[in-house]
Structure 1
């Protein structure tokens, strides 16, 4: 039995959960018109809450550590797993100073540009910026310090991004992700090419920054066939693209993903890896971050195969969660 609102307003998670509950005799109650939160109850009275993609599966403490990029990197590194070199920065120490703290400047000098600056907590690549000069670093930190109390400065690790989804030690999926790109035709400007791509947010302020660092601007006309990368992140919510590579995942990478989830005491997690490019053979995969409540809606919208994969992931998740 399900207590819900009009079907067209419900979230993907809720719609899939609704089908699962109907098939398994569970009562589902929505807490809002979109089904962003709710309650599942068994005939025996067992209750399980959810909000967004957060379920009563991972413990609260483990999920909080995973959500904090600096803490998560600390524990992953202590476990012998490779993570980017980083520096935690308090937003308060940036907001009221005209000159960046020496600790930040020293990190930039020792690590070298380009660097990434990002919120220490957050999802979907929001406000992640790639910077290549001290001037850009100062501007980026001041902008983000107005929005976030905690920031993280990290080295750039070049390579292919891979998201591996783990549930109780089982690999549910491996998805290769690529940043948003457009291909030139020799006639249209980058602004026009971007406007023609519905997945890319043309108002994203990072577009100007990223293009300028490569000597381009929105009025640049790329040559026919020339591919231009628009953002430094591969998140699907930012217009990135995905390719399912589960069958090609090596045992070594699967083991790293399992160890990362186990290290942070997560039953369910998406482990984001950077696989160094061919110019650095033998370099281990680096764990960019671990997400305790990964969103899969954008992946589902990529196509029929991706939608089927997302449904199978949630089916496995629900089965593990609602064992009554």
Structure 2
């Protein structure tokens, strides 16, 4: 019988990490050889757990599914009294027909007008900030929602909230990582254009083994520059920092600042309690704070939660971040290996 051809040769980030750190606790990792996106972990006590892409066998299925649905997650968090960003879900034309709903793209626009521009529109599922838009006009609104409906049949429309963007990663009763996310930006040198500065930034990512690919053709960047009366041909003054996107996802080119040791105890308690209330053991909690996470909570919003918080972009943003993520996943492995009733 002929051998099955290898369909993929690169092991995803989480598989690479598990293969590296599992021997430290006497565990073994077996990765499916063809696609290399799924793996099995066997612990010393005989317990077996699994992972696929960034999804780790640590959270219950029901709680994970709720966390992946932003609208449902927001509903339950709001019912428990958590400060979430209000908003409504709307549906693609095909889905409206299937479920006999009138909450189509036109209804979404009327809602946006009611709550006032600018608004944020984003897919109800998905991650890494893909197809998340901050829009100011009718034209931008319809263009953005049509882009979302090509990949997701449900979109959320929310008022835009501003502040500092943070991700806090919780494992059981502990904060294992917290970092501020800074949107994609470039700093002028007085001679290079914004397009050239983006190329320099991309080369720096490659040199540091960060696999983020910047997309100058992303219409969100052009729109954001336009609002600042800039174009890709503009030459920022030396030392001037130009922000290129509204969202701060690391996968979109954002930067991270570790704040694990600075998080205020009240924010730590809040995120740990939220993780438990949502039925999760491992959770990434995204916060928008009007101030600093090091200060006592005042005005803030929970943007969303993530039951499979991928940390690959964070780890590849620097050597110290790589060390932090390896230590984090070692704690995750140790927790997964414990037998629970």
Q: Does 1:224 align with 2:225?
A: no
Please state whether the residue corresponding to 1:258 is helix, strand or coil: helix
Q: What does the per-residue CA deviation read over 1:141-175, in whole Å, with 9 as the maximum and x for residues that have no partner?
A: 12221222111111111100111110112111110
1:87 positional shift: 1.5
Asked if the contact 1:182–1:227 (Cα under 8 Å) also holds between the matched residues in 2, the reply is: yes
User: For residues 105-184 of structure 1, what are the structure 2 equivalents within 5 Å?
Assistant: 105-184=109-188
TM-score (normalised: structure 2)? 0.85
Distance in 1, matches of 2:45 and 2:95, equals: 54
Distance in 2, matches of 1:185 and 1:24, equals: 48
1:94 positional shift: 9.2
Distance in 1, matches of 2:215 and 2:65, equals: 29
- Structure 2: runs of 5 or more not aligned: 1-5, 98-102, 206-213
Summarize the Cα distance change of 1:43–1:247 in structure 2 as closer, same or farther, 3 Å threshold. Answer: closer
Please state whether the residue corresponding to 1:137 is helix, strand or coil: helix
TM-score (normalised: structure 1)? 0.89
1:283 positional shift: 4.1
Tell which deviates more after alignment, 289-298 or 194-203.
194-203
Q: Does 1:273 align with 2:292?
A: no
Tell which deviates more after alignment, 84-93 or 243-252.
84-93
Distance in 2, matches of 1:259 and 1:191, equals: 44
Tell which deviates more after alignment, 119-128 or 130-139.
130-139
Q: Does 1:307 align with 2:322?
A: yes
1:274 positional shift: 0.4
Aligned length: 314
Q: What does the per-residue CA deviation read over 1:170-221, in whole Å, with 9 as the maximum and x for residues that have no partner?
A: 1111101100101122322211111221143333332112222333222222
1:247 positional shift: 1.1
Distance in 2, matches of 1:93 and 1:251, equals: 47
Aligned to 2:219: 205
Aligned to 1:319: 334
Q: Does 1:289 align with 2:304?
A: yes
Please state whether the residue corresponding to 2:287 is helix, strand or coil: strand
1:53 positional shift: 1.9
1:245 is matched with which residue: 252, 259, 271?
Answer: 259
